[in-house]
Amino acid sequence: MENSNPIPSLFEWAGGMPAFENLFDKFYDKVLTDDILEPVFKHMSAQHRLHVAHFVAEVLGGPKLYSESEGSHFLMIQKHLAKHLTQQHRKRWMELLLETADELQLPDDPEFRSAFMAYLEWGTRIAVLNSNQDNTDEDPNMPMPKWDWGVPGGPYKG
């Protein structure tokens, strides 16, 4: 029996690639005017915001734009090495990203935000850990992380 209402990916529920590209574009505009984060990101490449949008979108079930043409999970880890990020940086990054998500009206149902927050918490904490190392012994062929709805199992459909 076919399910007539398949559960969408987090990527689909959020609004697809336009939603992620817009989210990270507006977010990094804020980062570059923030006293805490601007010193960390002021030298980022012009493509940084797009790469991050594609990375997060892929992790949340979107197309493999990042891993097939822009990088890999291993490369993302390498980009964070020796950046010496702190919990203050991480918390401010999270705060600005969630503020931007609210302003752009990304879905705010508890199920989506729970899964979205869980990935962001995990990813930013990994970034801080990696940023305080000079090298990594991770497998260069490690797969991209994959995140889904977790315990709620899908979006709230009221």
The model's pLDDT over 52-90, given as tens digits with 9 standing for 90+, comes to 999 999 999 999 999 999 999 888 888 888 899 999 999
Which residues in the chain come in under a pLDDT of 70?
A: 1-4
Distances (CA, A) of 133 to 36, 98, 126: 21, 27, 11
Tell which residue, 27, 9, 29, 6, has the closest CA to residue 116: 9
pLDDT value for 3: 59
Show the CA angle centred on residue 120, arms to residues 114 and 124, nearest 5°.
150
d(CA 86, CA 129): 9
Question: In whole numbers, what is the pLDDT of the chain averaged over residues?
Answer: 94
Cβ contact 96:27 at 8 Å: yes
Q: What pTM does this model have?
A: 0.93
